[in-house]
Amino acid sequence: MKAWDSELEEGEGEEGGEKETSNGTAQDRKGDIMKDTQGHLQKVQKLIYAAKLNADLKSVDEDKDRLFAKLDDEVKAKEDLQVSIKEMEREKSSLQTEAETYSDQVQKLQQKLQIMTEMYQENELKLHR
């Protein structure tokens, strides 16, 4: 931007010097003015374009930062879920072991009940005789 500003100042200085020293026609001056105007217009357009690019760059940087923050959140959530999965797998294993133990106890108690029921029926038959 400073380079463009200095070019503008140099151009203005040259214009003033040319006007004082040149004895050209009105059309020459008009042509010079048109060239200067176009040059200034191009410089302004370049500045506008640079400003738009700068704004776009800032926007892209903000989007990038937002995405990286979201990615960090997702990574943390994934790690938390993996820890939870491991804990649940341990708990599942423990519960399966307990279930097997209780199943064995249930079978033993059912056998015991069956034996006691048979003994009760035998005793009842003996009493009725």
Nearest-10 Cα torsion for 93, 98, 103, 109: 170
pLDDT 10s digits, 102-114: 999 999 999 999 9
pTM: 0.50
Domain count, the chain: 1
pLDDT of residue 38: 84
Q: Which residue has the higher pLDDT, 18 or 26?
A: 26
- Record the tokens describing residue 22, joined without a space: 């040149």
| Summary mean pLDDT of the chain | 84
pLDDT of residue 76: 98
Q: Average of pLDDT values for 74-100?
A: 98
pLDDT of residue 35: 72
Instruction: Domain of residue 124: give its range.
Output: 2-128
